[in-house]
Amino acid sequence: MAHYSFYNLRTILILTLGSLTYGYANSVLTYTLGLPGFLEYFNLNNDAAYANAIMGTINGIFSAGGVAGSFTAAFMCDRYGRKATMNTAAVVSILGGVLLAGSVNAAMLIVARLVSGWGVSMLVVLIPIFQAEVSPPTSRGLLVGQHGVWIVAANAITGWIGFGVYYSSNMSFQWRFLFALQCVCPLALLCCSHWVPESPRWLLMQGRHAESWEIISKLHTNSHEFSDRDDKTSYAEKEFHQMVKQVELDAKLWAEGGGAWQILTKPSYRKRMWMGFFTQFAAQATGAMVVYNYMVNLYKELGFSGGITIMLSATYVTVATLANFVASVIMDRVGRVRLLTIGLTGCMISLSLECVMEARFVGATDHTGNALGVFFIFCFICFYAGGIDATSYVYCSEIFATHIRAQGMAFSMAGTFLSTIVFLEVGPTALATIGWKYYLVFIGLTAVDVAIMLWYFPETKGLSLEGINAKFGDEVAVHFHDEEYPASRAEARSSGQGLEGEKDGTAPEHIEHMSRKPSHE
């Protein structure tokens, strides 16, 4: 059952401007590598070894900036708040786009990609955290899943724009315009930030209860599970009560346990950290970024040329956008872990079949074989986008306790950036040297990843962010979750249950206080 309001949806959709920013920046080089003007300006047409080295460096440095940006976001999120971090990341992302569009040599291009990676990685860490903290439990998959949907939508937009500028007769305009458009979404995010509230959970950690309640009361609508106002406690009030009590409990345990060192010393926190890192690593270990970033070259090897290679790439990410949206819709029913394992298995099988096609038909003129090669590439993206892409962001954003969520999400995304540094840096040389055999590495890694995920990973669908603590053996201050509550208050009373903290059938004392008019305590 959805408990979100228009205010909630508006907040989620504004935040997706950050998702669009990352998606565009992450994919723009894929299409510039297919533009004659870019290849000519940076002298990437004449010397294959030089071109491979430059392409690998440009991709690798973006991921290096991503690692730095991830931990910058983690620090700023807790110190200055989610909203201030968002605005800072938007400014850095705009700067990266300006430098890219104005690049005059390969060195400047590399520095610009570093700045760009730094800024947009702050957003890719922050946005799912922010979305998770303003989403109700039963719809969190749908709402946080929009992060993945709009990342890939940006990929598709980039592809179709790249296809259009390919036919421009102005060689400089082709790639400079494509890079300059990276500034549009972060600029829009800055302009719309006025309508984005601060995270209510971060406000609670700062002791700002009244401000937090004001936001929570707007974010969620009342549940319809009770027939009248006198015999119900609104969904927002129950959630706020749980949030307050959990923040109090976590603060106490955090202080008693030694503070930040617990991320390393406490087993349940270590477990969450490696699960988040592993989830993002497993997503990249499918070979998705290698397939995507060097897709133009892959199509050329299958016998396609000219603008058709960019058109196929744009179609590829358009299909991915639709698959991501389907994943976000079904995620709250199917579950995170099941979707992830289905996606990983499908990617492994699709990439195996793609290897067969490449081994058999690369350089050949067999149109049927080449068409099958393209077909299996599209099968690959359907499984990746429909099972892994949006789902991995949702899972990583929700498995961490509130007071370590920023650090946990940053560490998780480091799994993406560190693995892509390796996979993309060696990609051009590996593909030029051993060709399709490079993909065997990803097939083997994915087989191992599936087994680990099925065996170790707990399901989190439908649980509140605070309630997920129990999945890792940590204490939950107040158990609040639709499935944990009977359909009506009358059933609760007759079964001897009731909301924690109830006194003689009334709502918890703290909720009663907050529902009147919260004030600073």
DSSP 384: I
pLDDT at 516: 41
**What number of other Cβ atoms are within 10 A of residue 503's Cβ?**
10
Q: Find residue 506's DSSP bridge partners.
A: 503
What is the structure's pLDDT at 367? 64
pLDDT at 500: 41
For residue 414, the tally of other CB atoms under 10 A from its CB is: 23
Distance CA 475, CA 496 (A): 23
Rounded CA-CA distance 416/326 in Å is 23
- Taking CA atoms, 104 is separated from 41, 42, 107, in Å, by 9, 9, 8
Q: Is the dihedral of CA 205, 206, 210, 214 positive or negative?
A: negative
Closest CA to 24 of 181, 144, 166: 181
Domain annotation for the chain: domains and CATH numbers: 12-197+259-469 (1.20.1250.20), 485-516 (no CATH)
Q: CA-based angle 55:61:67, to the nearest 5?
A: 145
**Conformational region of residue 306, where left means phi above 0, alpha means psi within -120 to 50, and beta covers everything else:** left
Q: Which of 493, 142, 151, 80 is nearest to 321 (CA)?
A: 151
Tell me what pLDDT residue 313 has.
75
From first to last of the 521 residues of the chain, give the pLDDT tens digit: 456 678 888 999 999 999 999 999 988 987 888 788 998 899 888 777 888 788 878 878 998 898 899 999 999 998 999 999 999 999 999 999 999 999 999 999 999 999 999 999 999 999 999 999 998 888 899 999 999 999 989 988 988 898 889 888 899 999 999 999 999 999 999 999 999 999 999 999 999 999 999 998 888 765 444 444 433 447 778 888 889 999 998 888 888 877 778 888 899 999 999 999 999 999 999 988 777 766 666 676 666 666 777 787 778 888 989 999 999 999 999 999 999 999 999 999 999 998 887 777 665 566 666 677 778 888 999 999 999 999 999 999 999 998 899 999 999 998 888 888 778 777 777 777 877 788 899 999 999 999 999 999 999 998 888 889 999 988 888 776 544 443 333 333 333 434 444 433 333 444 444 444 444 33
Instruction: Name the nearest CA neighbour of 120 among 23, 15, 41, 239.
Output: 23
pLDDT at 111: 94
Q: Give the three-class secondary structure for 312.
A: helix
pLDDT of residue 195: 94
Sign (positive or negative) of CA dihedral 16, 19, 25, 30: negative
CA distance 162 to 39: 14
| C-alpha span between 99 and 322 (Å, rounded) | 32
Q: What is the pLDDT of residue 58?
A: 86
State residue 301's pLDDT score.
Answer: 66
Residue 244 token pair: 């307050």
Report the C-alpha gap between 520 and 48 in whole angstroms.
Answer: 65
Buried b (16+ CB within 10 A) or exposed e, 340-361: bbbbbbbbbbbbbbbbebbeeb
Model-level pTM? 0.81
Q: How many CB atoms lie within 10 A of CB 75?
A: 13
In 362-502, alpha helices (H): 367-383, 390-398, 405-425, 427-433, 439-456, 489-494
Q: At residue 357, what is the residue type?
A: M
Beta-carbon contacts of 157 under 8 Å, excluding residues fewer than 6 positions away, are: 20, 24
